Structure 1
Amino acid sequence: MKKLLQLFAILLLSNSYAQQNLTYQKPSEEILKLADADLAPGVQIDSKGENMVLFYRNQYKSITELSETELRLAGLRINPVTNIGSRTTYYTNLKIKKTKDKDAKQISGLPAKPRLSGFRWSPDETMIACLNTTDKGVEVWILDINKASAKKITDANVNANMGSTLNWFEDNQNLLVKMLPSDRKPLINTSTAVPSGPTVSVSDGAKAQNRTYQDLLKTPNDEFNFEQLARSEIKKVSVKGKTETFLNADMYRNISFSPDGTYIMITKIKKPFSYLVTYSRFPNESNIYDNKAKLISKVNDIALDEVRPKGFMSTRTGKRNMTWRSDKPSTLVWTEALDKGDPAVKVDFRDAVYQMEAPFNANPKLLIKTKQRFSNITWGNDNTAIAYDYWWNTRNTKTYLFNPSDNTKDAKIITDRSYQDVYSDPGDFVRSKNKYGNYTLTMDGDKLFLMGEGFSKEGQFPFIDQYDITTNTTKRLYQSKYTDKLESLNTALDMKKGDVLVRIESKTEYPNYYIRNIYKDNDLKAITDFKNPFKSIENVDKRVISYKRDDGLDLEGTLYLPLDYKKDKKYPMILWAYPREFKDKSSASQSTANPNEFVYPYWGSPIYWVTKGYVVLDDAAFPIVGEGTEEPNDSFRTQLVANAKAAIDAVDNLGYIDRNKVAVGGHSYGAFMTANLLSHSNLFAAGIARSGAYNRTLTPFGFQSEERSYWEAPEIYYNMSPFMHADKMKTPLLLIHGVADNNSGTYPLQSERYFNALKGLGAPVRLVMLPKESHGYRAKESIMHMLWEQEQWLDKHVKNKQ
C-alpha cells in the first residue's frame, strides 16, 4: 500500500509531458513495398462448385474515411449520415468466373465508386443481393451471376445500422429490406445539447458483474439517438425495384425466414435500455409472421439482461439461441438453462433443447439435454442430428449423436475431449445444401463425413473421414500427403463424386484454389491463379523450431532469418507472441505451426523486419498452464519469463543472434505480456506494446481467461498488472494505442496512465496515440506511421543499442 501511495504521488507531480507534433510518417522503402502491396481477391463459390465470385478491396481504409461522422451507442459504431456501421469493410470491385473457365469476367453496371458490403446469395444461387454505400446513404444492388451484371433496385434509404438487413424470399424475386422510417426524428447533437438533469444509475442489490464494455449509452440523449438509429420500416422489394411496406417502423434487429419460406421470425428491441450492457442484452421479443405480414405468434419475450450469475459459463434464464431447424420446413428450436444459468449449481444436465412446429401454439417438445453448456446442433434428418456442448473451466467439449424424433432414447456421446487438444480433434461434420437451401449433414445411408485440419506430432496433414453412426467407427477416405506445401480442405462440393474445394500454398507459393477428387489420385484442377504480391521476401529462410521450457514443456515458434543473412554473423532479433491459457500441459505442448504456410506480412506482423537485418521469431509459444485446482494465472509471471527465456535460448543456441539485442512485442494481450516481461526480466533490449491493458484493477470482474474478480483474488490482479510494478521498468518501451479502441478492457486510458507512471518514474518510454483507430488499426496513414514508429524504435534501442 505504501508503494502504491508513492506511485500515485509521483503521478500527481508528472501530469504534463513533452509532445511531438508529427505528421503521418512512412517506413523505409523495403517495408513500405511490402505493406502497400495489392491484395488478391476474396473468393466465394456456389454450392455446386460452378460459379465463383471474386471480391476485390483496398487493403486499408483512409484516415479520411475513419474521420467520417461516427456515433458510438450501445456497443454499435454507426455513421448517422449513411446509416451503416462506421467501420464496415467495403469491396470496390467484383468479378465472376466459371470454375471451368480460365479467366474471370468483370461484372458490368457496378456503381461509379463502389463501396459494397452485405452480400447475400439468392436461394437458387443465380443472384447476389448486396449493399452499396454512397455519400448520402445505403442502396440495394442485385448481381446477376449468369449475365455478370449489376443493377440498383432501391434509393439510398436503407437502414443497415443493426442486425440483418437483406433477406431473400423463397421465390428468388423479392427481398425483405430494413429501410429508414418516414417518421425518424432529427438526432440530438450531444456535444452541444444543454443537459436537462444529471444521469443517475441505481443498484437494487443484485450482483451485475459485467465486463468493462465500451461504447455504452451514457445519457438520455444517447438513448434517444439510439432509438432513432435503430428504428426501421421493413419493406418488400422486388428484384425489379418495386417496393411495398411489409411492417411499420420499430426497432427491428434480426429477420429470419423459415427454411420453406412460409414464416418469418422477426426480433425487435424494446425498452428499458441499459447503461451497463450492449444492445444485444436489451429487452427484446421475437414474433412469427407469415410471408404476407400476418402476425402468427409471439414466441419469445426477453427482459433486460443486466444481471447474471458469476462465471464465464453463466447465462440468462428463459429461451435463448432461438432459430429454425434447418432440415424441417418450419420448426423453431431453442435452448433453456436447467441450472438457472448459474454454473455454481450442481445438476446432471445444464441445458435442454426444445422444438415447436408451426403454427407455434403447441407444447414444446424436448429434443436433448446436454451435460454442459449447449453450443449448437448440426441437423441431418428425422433420425439423425449432432449436438455439441462445452465447459470453459475444464476446456471440455462433448459431441452427441441423437435421434430428434425419439427423446426416450439416450443421446450417445461420440467424442469427449479437451477442445484445446488439437491432436485429438476429429474434425467437423461435412454439410451440404438441402432442398430448403440450408446446410445439413451430408449422409450416405448410415455414413457421415468428417473434415479435419490434421494436426499431429508428425506435422499437419488435413483429412476426410467416413463415420459410421451404427458402429461409431471411422474410416479414412483421404489425407493430404504434402510435406512441402499446406493443403487446406475448404468445402466438400460433392462427397459422392469426391469433389472437394481445396486451397494449396507453400512458403513461396501464394494460396490458390483447386478442385480435388479425393477418390482419384492426382486429380487436381486449378481454378485460381493469384500471383505472389510479396516477391521481395519469397526466398526468406523460414522454419518452425521446437524447444523446451525449463520445466520440460515443449514449445515452438516460427523463425525467419534476415534476407541478408550471413553464416556466423550475429543479428538482432524480434520476438512476437500472444499468451494463451491451458488447463493441461499435454495440450499446451502441441504443435500447430506449419512451416509451409505462405509468408504473409499483414499490417500487424513483425515479418517486415527480415528486410532490415533482423531475425524474427513470430508466434512464439507462450502457454500459461494451470492444471487441476490451480488456475493458469496463479503463476502467470513465472511462466511468462520462462517462455521468453526458452525462446531466446533456443535461437541463441542456433548461433543466429546477439542475445543482448532482442526486442519483444505484442498486440492486445500480447502488449500486456510485453510490459510484464520488461518489468520482471532483463532478457530484452526494448519492447513494443500495442493496444494493451496494464492495470487489471480497471477490469475488476475478470479479464482474458481470468474468471475470478478482483475482490476474490486481489493478489492476482496486483501481481499481473505492469502498472503496479512500473518502478521496476527500466527497459525502453514503445506504447501504441488507438484513440477509439472499442475492445473490452483495453481503454486508451490504460496506455495513457501507464505512460504517465513510467515517465514519472524515469523509464524510457514513448506513447503514440493513433487518431480514430479502434483496437485493430485500419487507416493506411495510421499503419504506415505505426510501422515507421516501430522501425525507428527498434533501430535506436535494439539494432544500434549502445
Structure 2
Amino acid sequence: MKYIKYPIFFFLMAVMPAVAQQKLTLQEIWSGAFRTQGMHDLQAMKNTNQYTVLDSGKSGATIDLYDFATLDKVSTLVSSADHKELAKGIDSYTFSADEKKLLLATNSDPIFRHSFTADFYIFDIASKSLSKLSDKKVQEPTFSADNSKVAYALENNLYVYDIAAKTTKQITTDGKKNCIINGITDWVYEEEFSFVKAYDWNATGDKIAYIRFDETDVPEFSMDVYGNDLYQTQYVFKYPKAGEKNSVVSLHIYDLKTNTGSEVKLGNYSDFYIPRIQWTADARALSVQVINRHQNDLDLIFVDANTGLAKVVLNEKDKAYIDITDNLTFLKDNSFIWTSEKDGYNHIYHYSKMGKLISQVTKGPWEVTDYYGFDEKTGNIFYQSVENGSINRDVYRVSLNGKNKTRLTPQTGTNAATFSPNYQYFINSFSSATQPPAYTLNNAKDGRVVKEIKNNNALQAKLEKYSLPAKEFMEITTEKGHKLNAWMIKPKDFDPNKKYPVFMYQYSGPGSQQVNNEWHSTDDYWFMMLAQQGYIVACVDGRGTGFKGAAFKKVTYKELGKYEVEDQIDAAKVFGKYNYVDASRIGIFGWSYGGFMSSNCILKGNDVFKMAIAVAPVTNWRFYDSVYTERYMQTPQENASGYDDNSPINHVDKLKGPFLLVHGSADDNVHVQNTMRMVEALVQANKQFDWAIYPDKNHGIYGGKTRLQLYTKMTNFIKENL
C-alpha cells in the first residue's frame, strides 16, 4: 500500500501546478472577469468634512455620504429605488453650492466623447423631494452660486430655471444645429480642449458668461449610419480639418438682474480660440484664456463684468505649443495659481491678481502632473508629480513659497488623491504593475495611512491561479543614443536559451505615456495571454511622449511621425540584438495615434517589422481636425512637407509584411475616410493586406461582442503572421 501511495502522491504534486495555472482567454478578458473595484464618482464635500460616492448595486443606485475622519457612512442621500423617475439608475450627480440640493442625471444619451443629454432632476436632500428640470433631455445643467437657479443648454441655446418659482427663462435664441451654439462647445473644442460646458456662473449667481460658436462656415462631415432599417441614414456635423475654417467664437455675459446680454470685446484677435473661461473669486471679474491658432501665444485676460473692459494680465509664448490645463486656481485675494512649462518642465507658479509673478512654487527636472488645491489656513499647496521617476506618480505637500516640501505617498507606483475640504485628510488611490488599486484614508500632514477603505485583494487572489507573467520596466538606449522608457512581458516559463517573437505595442502621441507603473489595463491581460502563448510583448515610449520635460516632448513639433517612428524602429533593433529574441519575428500594434505609428513602422521599417496591426489610424494628417493637428504641425498650407513626408498613405509602396487595418464606420474622431483612402492607395500599389470595418462603431469600436470579435481577429492574425 505504501509503495503504491507515495508515487501517486508525488505524481499528483507534480501535476497540480500545471492544472492550477489556468490560461487567460479572450472570453474572460472581455467578460469583465478581471474588472477592479473602485470608488465611483468620489466627490469631496466643500462645506463639511465629508465625501460622497455613487454606488450602483443590484437594488439600484445610491449616493452615500461618508465622514472623512472615521470613514463611517453617515447616510444615504438618495436612492433610485425610492423614486420611479430614477428607475434606470443615477448616471452622475452634482451639488448646489450650499450642498442642500443635487442635480441627478438619468437615462443619458451620449453624443460625442464627453457630451451627452439626459433627464435631469433636482433633488432636495432635506425633504427628499424630486422635481424634473425640463420636459426634454438637456445638457450640462449647473446650479447658480446663490443656489436659487439652474442654467442648462437645450438645442444650442441657454436657459435658466428658477427653482422656487418653477419658471424657465430662455437667455439665448439664435441657437441652430450646425450653425450657432451657445454655451456648449463645438465638436473640435470638446475633443481637443476637453470640455463641453462653455458657460460659467459668477460668485453671486447674477451673471452668466458663455462662449458662442458660429459654425456656419465650418465644412461638414457626414457618416452613413447603417442601423437596422431598409435604408441607411446619414449623420452630418461640422468638423474643421487641418487648415480649414474653424468656428468663429465670441464671449458674452448675460446679466440676470437686468435681463440683458452683451458681447465682450476681447481685443484685436483674429482666428483664435477661447479654450477656458472662469469667474475669479471676485464676482465682477471674469478670467478668459485666448490662444492663437498656432497655439503658441496665450493671453490670460481679466474682464470687468460691469464695464466690459478686458485687460491682459499674463502672456505666455512657446517656440512650439502651449498645452491648455485646468490648473488655474484663484485664491481669496484673487491672486492665482498657474502651471506652466516655461522653464522646460511643468511647474506651479503663484501670481498676484495683477498678473505679477510672486514665486515659482516647484522647481526641478521633473513634471507636476496634477494640482489638487491650496489650504488657506496652512498656506500649503497639494499636488501630484513624477519626482520619483517619470513612470511613477506621488502626492506632495509644499508651502506656497516653495519650502517644506513633503512626499505624502511612500509606495512606489501611481498615487492619486482626493482631499477633504479642510485638507486634514486625503483618500489615496494607489496601484502599481504588481498591485491592483487600493484606497486608503491618509493624513495630509505626513501621509500616514489612517485606515484602508477598499482593496482588490479578491481579484489578486483570483489571478494567482493564472500565474501571470510580470511586466518588467527598463530603460533602453538606441543606437542614436536616445534613452527611452520601456516595459517587457516575457512568458512565465521564459528560457533565455530560446528565441522568442516580439510583439510591440505603443501609442506614441504627443505628451502621452504607456510605460507607467500602474495596474493592468484590459490590453495588458491580452498581452499576458499572448505571453502565455509564447510571445514576448514590449512597449517603448519614444521621443514626443510625456513627463520627461518639454524638450523631449516637443522634439516632434512640425514633424509628427518622424522621430517617434525612428525610435520604434531603433527600439525593435535593440530588442532584436537580445540573445533570446528572434529578430526576424518582430511585430507592432497600435490604436488611433498608435495605429498611425504602426502603419508607418511596417512601411518605413519594412526590414525590421514582420507584421503590423493598425486600429482606427490616422493615415494622412490632412484628414484630421484643426485644433489637434495644427497644435503640433501648423497648417498644411504652411508645412506641406511635414504632413506629407510622414503620412503612411504616401509610403504604401514600401509594404512587405502582413498588415491588418481596422476601423469603425461611425468614427467621428478619426474618420473611416483615413482607412478607405489608405485601402485605395494600397490597392493601386498592388499590395496585399487584410482589413475589417465595423459598422456603426465609433473610435472605441465596442458594443455587444464587438471587442471580443476584434481581439479574436487580431490574435489570430498575430498567430498566423508572427
Q: Shorter-normalised TM-score: what interval?
A: 0.7 to 0.9
Moved more, 689-698 or 101-110: 101-110
| Structure 1 letter corresponding to 2:709 | H
Aligned to 1:402: 351
Asked whether the 8 Å contact 2:119–2:138 carries over to 1, the reply is no
Q: Separation in 1 of the partners of 2:385 and 2:285?
A: 33
Aligned to 1:353: 301
SS of 2:711's equivalent?
helix
Asked whether the 8 Å contact 1:557–1:620 carries over to 2, the reply is yes
1:96-131 deviations in whole A, cap 9, x for unaligned?
A: 252523799665325575264453222233443122
Asked whether the 8 Å contact 1:512–1:529 carries over to 2, the reply is yes
Asked whether the 8 Å contact 1:538–1:599 carries over to 2, the reply is no
Q: Separation in 1 of the partners of 2:525 and 2:683?
A: 26
| 1:443 correspondence with 2:416 | no
Q: Separation in 1 of the partners of 2:120 and 2:199?
A: 17
Q: How far does residue 613 in structure 1 lie from its aligned partner after superposition?
A: 3.5
- Out of 638, 649, 653, the position equivalent to 1:723 is 649
Asked whether the 8 Å contact 2:287–2:301 carries over to 1, the reply is yes
Aligned to 2:255: 289
Aligned to 2:209: 265
- Out of 318, 331, 337, the position equivalent to 1:380 is 331
- Out of 691, 698, 722, the position equivalent to 1:767 is 691
Q: How far does residue 353 in structure 1 lie from its aligned partner after superposition?
A: 2.4
| 1:414 correspondence with 2:346 | no
1:191-235 deviations in whole A, cap 9, x for unaligned?
A: xxxxxxxxxxxxxxxxxxxxxxxxxxxxxxxxxxxxxx4246543
Q: How far does residue 792 in structure 1 lie from its aligned partner after superposition?
A: 1.4
Q: Separation in 1 of the partners of 2:444 and 2:215?
A: 54
Q: Cα gap change, 1:281/1:757 in structure 2, threshold over 3 Å: closer, same or farther? A: closer
| Structure 2 letter corresponding to 1:523 | V
Aligned to 2:411: 482
- Out of 454, 460, 480, the position equivalent to 2:386 is 454
Q: Cα gap change, 1:560/1:134 in structure 2, threshold over 3 Å: closer, same or farther? A: closer
| 1:45 correspondence with 2:24 | no
Asked whether the 8 Å contact 1:283–1:302 carries over to 2, the reply is no
Q: How far does residue 785 in structure 1 lie from its aligned partner after superposition?
A: 1.6
CA RMSD of aligned residues (A): 4.4
Asked whether the 8 Å contact 2:383–2:395 carries over to 1, the reply is yes
- Out of 304, 311, 323, the position equivalent to 2:278 is 323
Q: Separation in 2 of the partners of 1:49 and 1:651?
A: 56
| Structure 2 letter corresponding to 1:775 | H
Q: How far does residue 244 in structure 1 lie from its aligned partner after superposition?
A: 1.3
Q: Separation in 2 of the partners of 1:786 and 1:666?
A: 13
Asked whether the 8 Å contact 1:738–1:770 carries over to 2, the reply is yes
- Out of 142, 150, 153, the position equivalent to 2:132 is 153
| Structure 1 letter corresponding to 2:72 | D
| 1:660 correspondence with 2:584 | yes
| Structure 1 letter corresponding to 2:392 | Q
Asked whether the 8 Å contact 2:80–2:90 carries over to 1, the reply is no
Asked whether the 8 Å contact 1:515–1:524 carries over to 2, the reply is yes
- Out of 593, 599, 612, the position equivalent to 1:687 is 612
Aligned to 2:150: 175
Q: Cα gap change, 1:489/1:635 in structure 2, threshold over 3 Å: closer, same or farther? A: closer
| 1:333 correspondence with 2:308 | no
Q: How far does residue 288 in structure 1 lie from its aligned partner after superposition?
A: 2.2
Q: How far does residue 663 in structure 1 lie from its aligned partner after superposition?
A: 1.7
SS of 2:719's equivalent?
helix
Equivalent runs, 1:583-732 vs 2, <5 Å: 593-595=515-517, 597-602=518-523, 606-621=527-542, 623=544, 637=562, 640-647=565-572, 649-650=574-575, 653=578, 655=580, 657-681=581-605, 682-696=607-621, 698=623, 703=629, 706-732=632-658
Asked whether the 8 Å contact 1:158–1:177 carries over to 2, the reply is no
SS of 1:664's equivalent?
strand
SS of 1:129's equivalent?
strand
| Structure 1 letter corresponding to 2:366 | S
Asked whether the 8 Å contact 1:177–1:237 carries over to 2, the reply is no
Q: Cα gap change, 1:449/1:304 in structure 2, threshold over 3 Å: closer, same or farther? A: closer
Asked whether the 8 Å contact 2:409–2:447 carries over to 1, the reply is no
| Structure 2 letter corresponding to 1:300 | V
Q: How far does residue 133 in structure 1 lie from its aligned partner after superposition?
A: 2.2
Asked whether the 8 Å contact 2:489–2:531 carries over to 1, the reply is yes
Q: Separation in 1 of the partners of 2:554 and 2:239?
A: 33
Aligned to 1:300: 264
Q: Separation in 2 of the partners of 1:677 and 1:687?
A: 8
Q: Cα gap change, 1:320/1:55 in structure 2, threshold over 3 Å: closer, same or farther? A: same
Moved more, 640-649 or 572-581: 640-649
Asked whether the 8 Å contact 2:392–2:414 carries over to 1, the reply is no
Q: How far does residue 604 in structure 1 lie from its aligned partner after superposition?
A: 10
- Out of 663, 666, 669, the position equivalent to 1:737 is 663
Asked whether the 8 Å contact 1:671–1:691 carries over to 2, the reply is yes
SS of 2:699's equivalent?
coil
Q: Separation in 2 of the partners of 1:761 and 1:343?
A: 35
- Out of 407, 427, 436, the position equivalent to 1:501 is 427
Equivalent runs, 1:17-96 vs 2, <5 Å: 30-37=25-32, 39=35, 40-41=37-38, 42-47=40-45, 48=48, 50-56=50-56, 93-96=61-64
| 1:795 correspondence with 2:706 | no
1:359-404 deviations in whole A, cap 9, x for unaligned?
A: x13755664455667966321132632344567xx97767543321
1:248-269 deviations in whole A, cap 9, x for unaligned?
A: 6623425432123233335555
Equivalent runs, 1:503-522 vs 2, <5 Å: 503-519=429-445, 522=448
Q: Cα gap change, 1:739/1:156 in structure 2, threshold over 3 Å: closer, same or farther? A: same
SS of 1:556's equivalent?
strand
Q: How far does residue 463 in structure 1 lie from its aligned partner after superposition?
A: 3.8
Q: How far does residue 245 in structure 1 lie from its aligned partner after superposition?
A: 2.3
Equivalent runs, 1:77-156 vs 2, <5 Å: 93-96=61-64, 98-99=66-67, 100-101=71-72, 107-109=80-82, 111=85, 114=88, 116-117=90-91, 119-133=93-107, 138-142=118-122, 151=130, 153-154=132-133, 156=135
SS of 1:33's equivalent?
helix
Q: Separation in 2 of the partners of 1:635 and 1:233?
A: 42
Calculate percent identity across the aligned residue pairs: 14
1:58-80 deviations in whole A, cap 9, x for unaligned?
A: 9xxxxxxxxxxxxxxxxxxxxxx
Q: How far does residue 686 in structure 1 lie from its aligned partner after superposition?
A: 1.4
Aligned to 1:73: none
Asked whether the 8 Å contact 2:568–2:601 carries over to 1, the reply is no
Q: Cα gap change, 1:37/1:143 in structure 2, threshold over 3 Å: closer, same or farther? A: farther
1:524-577 deviations in whole A, cap 9, x for unaligned?
A: 312234565584457432211221110121112222223565664444332101
1:452-497 deviations in whole A, cap 9, x for unaligned?
A: 223445973614232243xxx42123343224xx351312325663
Q: Cα gap change, 1:759/1:770 in structure 2, threshold over 3 Å: closer, same or farther? A: same
Q: Separation in 2 of the partners of 1:29 and 1:103?
A: 41
SS of 2:404's equivalent?
strand
| 1:753 correspondence with 2:677 | yes
Q: Separation in 1 of the partners of 2:409 and 2:294?
A: 41
Q: Separation in 1 of the partners of 2:65 and 2:694?
A: 40
Q: Separation in 2 of the partners of 1:126 and 1:795?
A: 58
1:22-43 deviations in whole A, cap 9, x for unaligned?
A: xxxxxx9711101211643523
Normalising by the residue count of structure 2, what TM-score does the alignment of the two structures yield?
Answer: 0.73
Q: Separation in 2 of the partners of 1:370 and 1:352?
A: 9
Moved more, 571-580 or 367-376: 367-376
Number of matched pairs: 625
Q: Cα gap change, 1:101/1:529 in structure 2, threshold over 3 Å: closer, same or farther? A: farther
Asked whether the 8 Å contact 1:671–1:692 carries over to 2, the reply is yes
Q: Separation in 2 of the partners of 1:684 and 1:780?
A: 33
